[in-house]
């Protein structure tokens, strides 16, 4: 059985107030081609299809277009669970009708213990579903108030599922946080301090666990996060986004291959003094990428966004890592005690920068103070 694993589409997402619908269309439309090229027999999506529980009309249209193309043109089954960004009720609307066309949307607790079985030349592969549900919801449906952690709840569910295995070929779709997973800024945490983390040993009996939630592609043994298909924060600038091609053999053995995702516009960080950023930008072959500029100049720069936007029209953010962020306050008494405005400036400069001002800077301030004195007739 060969299938493609993906998750965390977050259709409808904005980045620094910029709609990413066009970029999402570009990366998601590659799926149909990859399904045909690699002869995939199913597509599994492990949650967070939408970015919001009430998606925008543009987001709904894009998801409808992508899923329809795969179902109608490729005629392969699509298996979906909800993530923590999705509304289970909205996502599952029409699921009974859709299932007749091989679009299987699993969002309820009863779906957890009812596998979907797909068949290949070696027999049936059982696909199990663990959509995102809160701990309180799981405790209530498991009828076990003694459960204290998400890990305990998931282990109880996993044990119940594995006890009903009737073959060695079992795939689990799960939207959750596994212990020691590498996080990104763009994820919405389930809880404070990682209290919803699950021990990966809970899934040791599955052939493959198709995880969703973490945006960085990663995995260990049989447990794999496909990651998001696009970069949703600058903390992901160095991520290699991918779809996962998984092959399950006759006895449940699994081989995976990373399918590279191409971007219409990448998300990048450029760094240097502003003159160097502008000079390098003139020669950059990917000027339309989304850019965060780390400006290393210490001097005040007038309209840095306007300057950089001339070479990078999609500049989204500017940072000044060499400008220290320190609070500074001065009392009236300190001003009165100060020997002169120049001494007050030197104290302010040292408190902010952690070093003494240069001779050139002191001379510049002296000239300014002289001009002020002349204007005030002092």
Q: What is the pLDDT along the chain (378 residues), one digit of tens a residue?
A: 999 999 999 999 999 999 999 999 999 999 999 999 999 999 999 999 999 999 999 999 999 999 999 999 999 999 999 999 999 999 998 888 899 899 999 999 999 999 999 999 999 999 999 999 999 999 999 999 899 999 999 999 999 999 999 999 999 999 999 999 999 999 988 765 556 899 999 999 999 999 999 999 999 889 999 999 999 999 999 999 999 999 999 999 999 999 999 999 999 999 999 999 999 999 999 999 999 999 999 887 889 999 999 999 999 999 998 776 555 555 555 555 556 788 878 877 777 677 888 888 888 888 888 888 777 665
Write the DSSP symbol of residue 70.
I
3-state secondary structure of 162: helix
Same domain for 278 and 166? no
Q: What is the total count of domains within the chain?
A: 3
With tokens 């500074």, the residue in question is 328
Length of the chain: 378
Position 199 scores a pLDDT of 95
- How far is C-alpha 127 from the chain's CA centre? 25
3-state secondary structure of 276: helix
Give a yes or no: residue 327 inside a domain: no
How are beta strands 223-225 and 218-220 bridged, if at all? antiparallel
CB 366 within 8 A of CB 342: yes
- Entry pTM: 0.86
Write the DSSP symbol of residue 76.
-
Residue 264's nearest CA partner among 21, 71, 40, 47 is: 21
Residue 358 to residues 34, 350, 361, 363, 364, Cα–Cα distance (Å): 60, 11, 5, 9, 10
Same domain for 129 and 63? yes
Same domain for 347 and 224? no
With tokens 């060499």, the residue in question is 322
Domain containing 272: what range? 267-319
3-state secondary structure of 295: strand
Residue 282: count other Cβ atoms within 10 Å of its Cβ: 10
CB 211 within 8 A of CB 175: yes
Same domain for 208 and 87? yes
Give a yes or no: residue 324 inside a domain: no
Q: In sequence order, which ranges of the chain are alpha helices (DSSP H)? A: 21-28, 30-37, 57-69, 88-91, 95-99, 135-142, 150-162, 274-283, 304-309, 332-337, 341-353, 359-376
Same domain for 285 and 243? no
């Amino acid at each position: 059985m060969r299938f493609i694993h993906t998750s965390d589409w977050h259709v409808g997402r904005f980045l620094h107030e910029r709609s990413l619908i066009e970029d999402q269309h570009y990366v998601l439309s590659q799926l149909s081609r990859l399904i045909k090229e690699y002869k995939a027999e199913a597509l599994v999506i492990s949650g967070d299809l939408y970015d919001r529980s009430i998606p925008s009309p543009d987001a709904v249209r894009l998801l409808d277009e992508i899923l329809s193309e795969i179902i109608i043109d490729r005629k392969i089954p699509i298996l979906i669970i909800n993530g923590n960004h999705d509304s289970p009720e909205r996502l599952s609307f029409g699921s009974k009708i859709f299932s007749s066309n091989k679009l299987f949307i699993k969002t309820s607790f009863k779906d957890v213990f009812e596998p979907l079985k797909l068949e290949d030349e070696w027999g049936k592969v059982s696909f199990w579903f663990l959509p995102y549900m809160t701990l309180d919801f799981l405790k209530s449906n498991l009828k076990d108030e003694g459960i204290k952690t998400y890990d305990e709840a998931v282990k109880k569910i996993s044990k119940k599922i594995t006890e009903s295995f009737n073959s060695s070929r079992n795939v689990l779709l799960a939207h959750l946080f596994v212990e020691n997973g590498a996080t990104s800024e763009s994820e919405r945490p389930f809880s404070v301090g990682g209290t919803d983390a699950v021990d990966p040993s809970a899934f040791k009996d599955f052939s493959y666990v198709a995880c969703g939630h973490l945006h960085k592609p990663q995995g260990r043994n049989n447990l794999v996060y496909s990651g998001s298909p696009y970069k949703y924060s600058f903390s992901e600038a160095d991520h290699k986004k991918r779809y996962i091609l998984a092959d399950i053999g006759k006895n449940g053995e699994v081989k995976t291959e990373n399918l590279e995702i191409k971007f219409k516009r990448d998300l990048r960080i450029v760094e240097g003094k502003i003159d160097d950023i502008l000079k390098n930008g003139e020669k950059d072959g990917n000027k339309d990428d989304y850019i965060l500029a780390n400006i290393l100049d210490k001097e005040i720069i007038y309209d840095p966004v306007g300057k950089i936007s001339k070479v990078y029209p999609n500049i989204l953010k500017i940072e000044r890592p060499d400008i220290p962020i320190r609070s500074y306050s001065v009392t009236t008494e300190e001003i009165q005690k100060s020997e002169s405005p120049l001494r007050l400036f030197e104290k302010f400069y040292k408190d902010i920068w952690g070093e003494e001002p240069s001779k050139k800077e002191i001379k510049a301030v002296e000239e300014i103070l002289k001009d002020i004195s002349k204007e005030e007739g002092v």
